[in-house]
Each structure stands twice: as C-alpha cells, then as structure tokens.
Chain A
Amino acid sequence: MKLKLQIILRYLKSQSHTLKVTTLLSSLGVILGVSCLVLTMAVVSGVQTLIQKSVTDLTGDMILVYRGNHFDTDILKQELKKVTPEFLALTPFVSSQGIVVKKNQILGIVLHGIQESSAGNVLHIRSRIIHGDFNLEKKDSLDNVIIGKEIAKKLKIHIGDTFQVVIPRPSQEKIQSFSPIVQKFRLAGIADFGKFDYNEKVIVTTDQVVQNLLGLEGQYVGAYLKFRNTEKVPELTNKISEALGADYKVRSWKDLNHNFFSAVELEKVVIFIVVLFIVIVASFNVSSTIFVGVLRKFADISILKTLGATRKFIIKLFVLQGVFMGVVSSFLGILLGVLLALIIRHTKLINVPGDIYKFDYLPIDIRFTDLGVIFLVTVLICFLSSILPARRGANLKPIEGLKYE
C-alpha cells in the first residue's frame, strides 16, 4: 500500500496545470456537497437536541408514575442503583390537572408540584426562566408559581400578578362527582420550556402546595429520574420497567414525544439521502478526473505491468487516488461545514418564525456520529466512482501503452 500511495502522490504532485485545475474543481464539488451535508445534519440534530432538552429540563430523563398510593423515594433509589449504574438521581413529584381563571378567561393547565430540595439534581427549570425569578416560596400567604410563557401571553399575566387555579377534587361521598378547590397564586416567574404544549399548559409550584390541594399528605404520584447518559435512557426503559414491576409506569424522554422523535429520525435519513445527491453528482467529476489521469498514464501503467504489476495492483493504485481525493475532500468539507455551522450558531444568523417552529433561530448541534457517517459515506462514494476508470487502466495490455510513447 505504501508503494501505491507513493506512486499516486507523485502523480498528483506532477500533474499538468490543466489536470491540477480539474482535480481541484472536482474536489471542490465534493467539498461543497460535504459541507452542505454537515450543515443540514447539524440543523436536524439541533432540532432533536432542542426538543430533547426541553423534555428533560422539565421532566427529567425518565418519568416513573406510581400506580399505588404511596412509595418510598429512598427504597426506589436503592432499587434503581441496583438495576443500572447509569442512574444518578431522582426527584419526586405530584401533579394535577386544573383550570386557570383570570379576568373571565379560563385555560386548562397541569399543576406540577416539585420537591425543591432535590429538583435541582434532576430538572433544569431555573435556566428556563425568561422573566422574574425561580422563587416558589410563600409570600404574604400566597404561593409563588412559575408558568409557561404561552399561559402568560394568553391570560395577560405579569410578574407579581395573582390568579386563581381551580382543581377538581374527587368527592368522598359520591364516586363520580368532583368538588372544586380554588387557590390563589402569585406569578414569580415566566419560563420558556422550549415546547409549545409545555408553555401553554405547565404551572410549576412546590410539592406541598399540590399535596395540600389534593389532600395527599406527604404523598407523591411519581418521580423524575436523571441518568449519566441521556441518549442511553430509552434503551433502559424495559430493564427498569421489568425490575420495578407493574407498580410503576416507566416512560423515557423519547416515549413522551415518540411520534415527534420518530418523525425527525426518518426525516433525518431522507434529508441525508437527498443532500447526499450533491456528493454523488460531484463524485462523477472525481471519476472523470481519475479517468483522464489513467489515459495520461497509459505508458506508465504499461511499464508497471512490464515490471510485474498485476491488474489488482493497477486497480488499487487508481482506486487509492479516488479514496485519497475522497478523504481530503470530505475532511475539508467537514471543516467548512463545521465552520459554517459554528458561525450560524454563534451569530444566530438565520431566524425562523418561533410560533410555527417552536424555536426562533436555527438550532445547531454538531454530532461526531453525524460527521463520522458523512466522512465514511463520502469516501465510499469516491471509492466507488474510481473503480470504473481504475479497471480501464488495469485492463490495458502491457504493450498497448508503450505504443503511445
């Protein structure tokens, strides 16, 4: 392989001016194609990460919902540690559906009661606050809450305003009837939870407030879990579900938005294939450049064959040229793509309508796995595109090329 690489590098170095320009232009086509791929994949991955982070910031990597009346968080922690070393922390929660009432306007909401002491280990609500503070302490006998920005927008609630929440509490006497419980709250902070349905439904308060409203003294309905590697959590769902038994309903961040994540993954594959066509088209130029190189080196191929080079040797020689061009072009293309992606990320250059896409600017996430796949596929395409011209060279009879001299 060393000899073949040496020969090809010498040939590339000693190319005529015309052939050098041809090589440069065909490589440029691949470079641009690869950078387009990198940029596109970074945006799609960015959307995936953005939504994933929205989910995990509010509800952790995994949600356990207890089907019984009461569970012990310490025992649950011990059990989870036994199931997987990936488990890091949990925070219990209690929640209820309800209605917000403000100036004759009503809105269906979900009241999340979180345990303040442990929530910081699992959730990242504080970083989501866009107005006000993350302060859930009682002030002037009123409980503070955090609400999603869409609730604030729809009901025109501002920091420091008060509003009422109505919770339907099951009647003790009649099974099918509810008695409404009304509680007044003060708005301490407005959060952008990153997802439209979270922003228009979620109200966050302390666990004690929700427990008192529902009459569940010291009881929780479930727990939010944190793991070492969020990406691996969907694979752990079955394992944890089996270990904890039927008492718990287990759902990973992916299960909570299964349709969305499945759709994005499919779209990612389709977009990859479509944009890959740029690289495929560019690879035809690589093929023709190698073909011209083979034609110009007819004499040398004949000499090498006279000296004992086999067909395989000649094929490998020119395929190596294709692979070399593929490696260099995809490396430069990836560099260019990453550079463009970083510029877009830091300058927030491209704005998109937030009410439609749920984000205001193009999210960018550069993943090494994406870059690796792009690199390998590009090198593979260049490899395939060099086979035909390489075979033409290999099929040359030793005496054929010597006649051209």
Chain B
Amino acid sequence: MNNLTPILEAKKIHKVFWQGNRELEVLKGLDLRIFRGEAICIMGASGAGKSTFLQILGTLDRPTKGELYYDGISLLKKSDDELSTFRNKSMGFVFQFHHLLNEFTALENVMMPLQIAGLAQRDCEKTATKLLTFLDLRQRLGHYPKELSGGESQRVAIARALVSSPSILFADEPTGNLDSINGQKIQDLFFELKEKLNLTLIVVSHDTNFARRFPKILQLRDGMWV
C-alpha cells in the first residue's frame, strides 16, 4: 500500500446500545482517516463515545453500522478469530487500568502476545526482556503486578502492547490512573516510542496538557465530531 492509503479508515460508524427497550445511539456516523506514523488524540466529555469509538477502531467491538478498513482491507468482514489474530500482529492496546494478568510476572505478561502467536519460548523471553530493559524495568522482570507501582505497571502494559511490533498503538486514558509525575513520564514515553518505532498512535484522553502534544486533536460530542 502507498502512503496515500490510510492505515486505518472508518466510514460512517454507528453504534447503538439497548437499555431495556430504549435505544441509545452512542456513535452517529463517524468518519476517520489515519495515515501511517500519524499521532491523533480523541477528546471529549464523559459519555461522548470516545472509548467506544476507540474499541471499534481497535476491533475489540463491532459497530452497529459502518465500515472499517486497514490498509484498504475491510476488517469487519473478518471473523472474530481472524480479528484476534490480526490484533495480535498489528495492534497494541494500553488501557487506563494496566489490565495485566495478576498470576504472571512482568516478563511473562509481556511475553504473552508472542506466546499466543506461537513463537518459541526462548525468542519470546529474549524480545520481552529487551523491551522491558529499554523501558527501565530490568529489575522488575520477575515481579508480579501487585509488586509493581502504578507507573511501572503501566510501563509493563506498554511493553506488552508493543512487543509484537504493531503498526498502531491504541491508548484509552493511559495516564488517567497515574499521579502527575508518572503521568508525565508515560506521556513522554509514548512520544519517544512513536518516533523510535514509527508508530501510528491513537489516544483517547481528556487531559488537555497531554492532548496539546499531539499534532492532530479530534473532539467528539454526543457521538459526532465537533
């Protein structure tokens, strides 16, 4: 695919939830074109539909109506299992809460996407160790999530999101659960990694300071772009 083809393109995305008999339209025909290496921040008030839209872009949920393309290929025609495999190879996710697997060490958590992909144990361990060392977590490889601080947990989660070398990194309020110092460190890390790995970065946040650092900011209100 050439540089004129968006890496991710959403067309007329609608999402409707049902609360009993009441229909709740959260997304009202959103369009979005994101090119390789772009960094965008989606902002909006609580309930505006930011997270829902991010989940649809990340194939974690399906829209009620609309189309989604990755490098020109329709993603919504793929089965759930095909989408899982696609996510494993092409997408990384960081959430507000680190969502690490509590029964596994930091190293094992980061190895998990590679192991799911079926890579050899030794290769997984090597890649994960290298990444955690880069993120200054060399001393925390054998620690369990409950033994890590909030900032460390979030860095492990970032390492896990990046270990498969995805093209797109999605982050939903990645600093929302951190104090200002750790939050700042994580923000810096996002941009450092974006440059270093030529990542496409799609972040949802209502932190205006964080959003200002993005070249492109999109505002969402009541399921529509402002």
Cα A193 to Cα B205 with chains together (Å)? 90
Query: Would B93 and A306 count as touching, CB distance under 8 A?
Result: yes
Q: Does chain A have a CB within 8 A of B149?
A: no
Query: Would B88 and A308 count as touching, CB distance under 8 A?
Result: yes
Interface-lining segment among B3-11, B101-109, B206-214, B215-223: B101-109
Contacting residues of chain A (6-21) with chain B, CB-CB under 8 angstroms: 7, 10-11, 13-14
Using C-beta atoms within 8 Å of the partner chain, give the interface range for chain A: 20 to 34
Residues of B within 8 A of A14 (CB): 102-103
Q: Does chain B have a CB within 8 A of A292?
A: no
Contact flags (1/0) for A275-306 with B, using CB distance below 8 Å? 00000000000000000000000011001111
User: How far in angstroms is the closest Cβ of chain B from A297?
Assistant: 10
Residues of A within 8 A of B81 (CB): 310-312
Q: Which residue of B lies closest to A309 (CB)?
A: B116
Query: Would B101 and A308 count as touching, CB distance under 8 A?
Result: no
Query: Would A300 and B101 count as touching, CB distance under 8 A?
Result: yes
Cα A13 to Cα B116 with chains together (Å)? 21
Query: Would A307 and B160 count as touching, CB distance under 8 A?
Result: yes
Residues of A within 8 A of B101 (CB): 300, 303-304
Query: Would B88 and A402 count as touching, CB distance under 8 A?
Result: no
Q: Does chain A have a CB within 8 A of B133?
A: no
Residues of B within 8 A of A299 (CB): 99
User: How far in angstroms is the closest Cβ of chain B from A392?
Assistant: 15
- Given A307-B112, A312-B81: A399 touches B55 (CB 8 Å cut-off): yes
Q: Does chain B have a CB within 8 A of A397?
A: yes
Interface size of B in residues (CB-CB distance below 8 Å): 27
Most buried by A among B100, B104, B164: B104
Q: Does chain A have a CB within 8 A of B184?
A: no
Query: Would B85 and A308 count as touching, CB distance under 8 A?
Result: yes
Which of B88, B89, B103, B160 sits near A11, CB closer than 8 Å?
B103
Query: Would A399 and B116 count as touching, CB distance under 8 A?
Result: no
Query: Would A306 and B80 count as touching, CB distance under 8 A?
Result: no
Contact flags (1/0) for A372-405 with B, using CB distance below 8 Å? 0000000000000000000000000111001001
Query: Would A303 and B55 count as touching, CB distance under 8 A?
Result: no
Query: Would A310 and B55 count as touching, CB distance under 8 A?
Result: no
Q: Which residue of A lies closest to B51 (CB)?
A: A399
Q: Which residue of B lies closest to A3 (CB)?
A: B115
Instruction: Count A/B pairs, Cβ under 8 Å.
Output: 62
Query: Would B113 and A310 count as touching, CB distance under 8 A?
Result: no
Query: Would B104 and A399 count as touching, CB distance under 8 A?
Result: no
Which of B87, B103, B104, B121 sits near A306, CB closer than 8 Å?
B87
Which of A307, A311, A313 sits near B113, CB closer than 8 Å?
A307
Contacting residues of chain B (72-108) with chain A, CB-CB under 8 angstroms: 80-81, 84-85, 87-89, 93, 95, 97, 99-104
Q: Which residue of B lies closest to A397 (CB)?
A: B61
Query: Would B102 and A402 count as touching, CB distance under 8 A?
Result: no
User: How far in angstroms is the closest Cβ of chain B from A36?
Assistant: 35
Query: Would A10 and B95 count as touching, CB distance under 8 A?
Result: no
User: How far in angstroms is the closest Cβ of chain B from A309?
Assistant: 5
Which of A300, A307, A405 sits near B116, CB closer than 8 Å?
A307
- Given A10-B104, A303-B101, A405-B99: A311 touches B80 (CB 8 Å cut-off): yes
Cα A405 to Cα B98 with chains together (Å)? 11
User: How far in angstroms is the closest Cβ of chain B from A47?
Assistant: 50
Which of B95, B100, B102, B116 sits near A308, CB closer than 8 Å?
B116
Give 29 A-B contacts (CB < 8 Å), ordered by A residue: A2-B121, A7-B103, A10-B103, A14-B103, A300-B101, A303-B99, A303-B100, A305-B84, A306-B87, A306-B93, A307-B88, A308-B88, A308-B89, A308-B113, A308-B116, A308-B117, A308-B164, A309-B84, A309-B116, A310-B80, A310-B85, A311-B81, A312-B81, A313-B116, A397-B61, A398-B55, A399-B55, A402-B95, A402-B99
Known interface pairs A3-B116, A307-B116, A402-B99; 6 further A-B residue pairs with C-beta atoms within 8 A, sorted by A's residue number: A14-B103, A303-B100, A303-B101, A308-B116, A311-B81, A399-B60
Q: Give the B-binding residues of A (Cβ under 8 A).
A: 2-3, 7, 10-11, 13-14, 299-300, 303-313, 397-399, 402, 405
10 A-B pairs closest in CB distance: A308-B88, A10-B103, A310-B81, A398-B60, A310-B84, A307-B113, A3-B115, A14-B103, A308-B116, A399-B60
